[in-house]
């Protein structure tokens, strides 16, 4: 009988490197590894060479950076995707794309199963299991890290015993990255009261070491997505990479917060998301200029639901498609330019303009005559506050004993 084949999402890191040997030895299967390049700025070729040393059946390296930028990051920009108001879901966004590529390889190679290196404590297990289970319902899903119960120290020891190289960085931190952001966990960071050591960061300089002169950057948007920086039109991936460099140089994009994982655990999370931080701030500001108050307030609710679905592993749920339809419609007028000032870790919107702007300085200006008839305000206020005044009149009368509660 032919040996069973399992497709493994391979990052080149500690967990998935250990997994190769674990799958070969415990399950007696041929392991097919898939490394998907989503802009993590790691040596994809080195990961491929590592798999050869570990005796995999086949390895696939897939460049999906452009697809990731256009089909995953850009929808997230339109949705102002910040989980719990802080995290630009950089890791979350890449998981459904990686899962999709795994399924394609599994179908091509006639594999019977799909494997990932997620623990039972995190969110990624949910994202992979649901997406893989939805796209490849005839394949079994293996998550050995949930089974083996090894600590990180035990994994390192296992790797050494099997001759698997472990980098110095892997000994200190668990790192996951895409072009939209870099997540750093483990080690000293697990103490929520410890300031992250400077060696945890790679994409951003310490704010105190950033340039002493602020930099003004103009982002141009068309239909809700960024298309140019300082007048230079760029493709999606190129623009994001350039914004990572600019914002990172000024120490913008460091995020340190307590996050509620889907499984119920509160975790201390540290991220570097320079481009995401800058672009999302500019996008939100432009929306307020071109949308009505009703659109802005309602879309905030839609955005919150969208980002939760993406974070919680429900990228392929039909509700996300429904929300996408609303969000895409809402972005038709989100066209214009936003000026950002970056300085020593700080980010500030200092100007914005749009051909679709609902802001009219002639209406807002106190010093010139306008078409705004101020006398209308008296009647508006009378009606706007009618029920509030009625309630307070009854409340005051009750205190004086002149009114009785029913």
Domain 178-353 in the same topology as domain 5-173: no
For residue 184, give the nearest of 83, 244, 255 by alpha carbon. Answer: 255
Q: Is 15 a catalytic residue?
A: yes
- The CATH code for residues 178-353 is 3.90.1260.10
* Among 11, 15, 176, 178, the one annotated catalytic: 15
Tell me the pLDDT tens digit for each residue of 51-77: 988 999 999 999 999 999 999 999 999
CATH superfamily of 5-173: HUPs (3.40.50.620)
* Among 30, 95, 303, 330, the one annotated catalytic: 95
Tell me the pLDDT tens digit for each residue of 109-155: 999 999 999 988 899 999 999 999 999 999 999 999 888 777 778 88
Residues 133, 136: Cα–Cα separation, whole Å: 5
Residues 373, 363: Cα–Cα separation, whole Å: 10
Q: Is 95 a catalytic residue?
A: yes
Q: Is 371 a catalytic residue?
A: no
Residues 156, 22: Cα–Cα separation, whole Å: 13
How many CA atoms lie less than 13 Å away from 312 in the CB half-sphere?
A: 15
Task: List the domain boundaries for the chain.
Answer: 5-173, 178-353, 368-399
For residue 176, give the nearest of 249, 106, 101, 94 by alpha carbon. Answer: 94
* Predicted local distance difference test score (pLDDT) of residue 214: 98
Mean pLDDT, rounded, for 326-347: 98
Beta-carbon contacts of residue 242 (< 8 Å; ≥ 6 apart) = 229, 234
Q: Is the pTM of this model over 0.85?
A: yes
* Among 124, 129, 176, 303, the one annotated catalytic: 124
Tell me the pLDDT tens digit for each residue of 29-44: 999 999 999 999 888 8
Mean pLDDT, rounded, for 45-50: 87
Please check whether residue 286 is in contact with residue 354, taking contact to mean a CB–CB distance below 8 angstroms.
yes
* Among 90, 92, 94, 174, the one annotated catalytic: 174
Q: Is 124 a catalytic residue?
A: yes
Mean pLDDT, rounded, for 302-327: 98
């Amino acid at each position: 009988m032919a040996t069973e084949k399992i497709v493994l999402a391979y990052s080149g890191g500690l967990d998935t490197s250990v997994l190769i040997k674990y799958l070969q030895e415990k399950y007696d299967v041929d392991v097919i590894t898939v490394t998907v390049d989503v802009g993590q700025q790691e040596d994809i070729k080195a990961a491929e060479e590592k798999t050869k040393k570990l005796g995999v059946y086949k390895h696939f390296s897939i460049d999906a950076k452009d697809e990731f930028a256009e089909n995953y990051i850009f929808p997230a920009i339109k949705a102002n995707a910040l989980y719990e108001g802080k995290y630009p879901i950089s890791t979350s966004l890449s998981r459904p794309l990686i899962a999709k590529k795994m399924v394609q390889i599994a179908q091509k190679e006639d594999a019977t199963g799909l494997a990932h290196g997620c623990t039972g404590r995190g969110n990624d297990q949910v994202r992979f299991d649901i997406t893989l289970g939805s796209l490849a319902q005839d394949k079994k899903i293996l998550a050995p890290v949930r089974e083996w119960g090894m600590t990180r120290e035990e994994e390192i020891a296992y790797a050494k015993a099997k001759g698997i190289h472990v980098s110095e960085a892997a000994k200190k931190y668990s790192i996951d990255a895409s072009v939209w952001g870099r997540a750093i966990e483990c080690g000293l960071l697990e103490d929520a009261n410890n300031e992250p050591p400077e060696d945890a960061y790679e994409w951003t300089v310490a704010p105190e070491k950033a340039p002493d002169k602020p930099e003004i950057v103009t982002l141009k948007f068309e239909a809700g997505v960024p298309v140019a920086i300082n007048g230079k039109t760029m493709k999606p991936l190129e623009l994001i990479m350039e914004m990572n460099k600019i914002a990172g140089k000024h120490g913008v994009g460091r995020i340190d917060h307590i996050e509620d994982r889907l499984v119920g655990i509160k975790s201390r999370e540290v991220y570097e998301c320079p481009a995401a931080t800058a672009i999302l701030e500019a996008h939100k500001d432009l929306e307020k200029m071109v949308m009505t108050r009703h659109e802005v307030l309602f879309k905030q609710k839609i955005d919150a639901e969208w980002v939760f679905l993406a974070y919680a592993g429900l990228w392929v749920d039909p509700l996300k498609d429904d929300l996408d339809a609303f969000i895409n419609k809402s972005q038709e007028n989100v066209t214009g330019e936003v000026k950002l000032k970056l300085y020593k870790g700080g980010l500030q919107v200092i100007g914005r303009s749009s051909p679709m702007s609902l802001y009219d300085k002639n209406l807002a200006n106190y010093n010139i005559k306008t078409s705004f008839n101020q006398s209308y305000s008296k009647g508006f206020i009378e009606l706007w506050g009618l029920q509030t005044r009625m309630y307070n009149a009854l409340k005051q009368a009750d205190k004086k004993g002149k009114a009785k509660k029913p």
